[in-house]
A = this chain, B = another copy of it.
């Protein structure tokens, strides 16, 4: 018998538990999630496994959070720009990254990663507060670097913060309030809010607000170019 064939689970049960715990924690939150459901979803017939591999439910949660925080966002966050890159292009790149990796994070990785992080960011628990801090700080520092270059130097740091919150707020709203949006515009229209649509809109809105001139990268002949305001008289 060449194959070991003792394989109801080829991978370690510890990783299956982590995966299942991530899903349940993301869906129901820390309190509403139960160790029995986590074990059931992991295919582990034993609830003591959680206390065996991890110490508590609490450390399991912390471990799950630490796993979710290791996002591919970081790998893309540092980019070498050509000297000719305009500020508006960098801003569009950042907004696109935020939209793609956070707002619509459902294709390249299990969706519970961002679900869990959003939960921790909007309602931080003492368990994962530090993890959440380390998760978002580089995001904002990247945006601040872009804005400092794009905007006049006399700008106060306070105003810079407010501008960054205006930009990030536009992106995050489509995730944090996605249920509200679904109710307001319907499920069908919300489904058409893909990454490119949102990135284009938010970039255009923000660049106009900041006085940066920006042109849509691809002419995209299919979509009718609709200007929010005609050229000033």
Contact = CB atoms under 8 A, between A and B. Distances in A.
Contacts of A29: 29, 31, 123
A205 B133 CA distance: 27
Contacts of A133: 183
Contact of A166 (B121, B156, B170, B226): B170
Nearest to A27: B123
A10 interface: no
A48 interface: no
Contacts of A83: none
Q: How many copies does the complex hold?
A: 2
Contact of A121 (B137, B152, B177, B202): B177
Interface stretch (A68-76, A105-113, A207-215): A207-215
A91 to B, nearest CB: 13
Q: How large is the interface on A (under 10, 10 to 19, 20 to 34, 35 or more residues)?
A: 35 or more
A65 to B, nearest CB: 15
A31 B25 CA distance: 13
Contacts of A166: 170, 173, 201-202, 205
A163 to B, nearest CB: 7
Contact of A176 (B176, B183, B212): B176
A162 interface: yes
Interface string A111-136: 00000000001111000000011001
Contact of A165 (B123, B137, B170, B228): B170
15 contacts: A121-B180, A123-B179, A136-B183, A151-B229, A152-B228, A161-B189, A162-B197, A165-B170, A166-B205, A169-B171, A173-B176, A205-B209, A208-B208, A211-B229, A212-B229
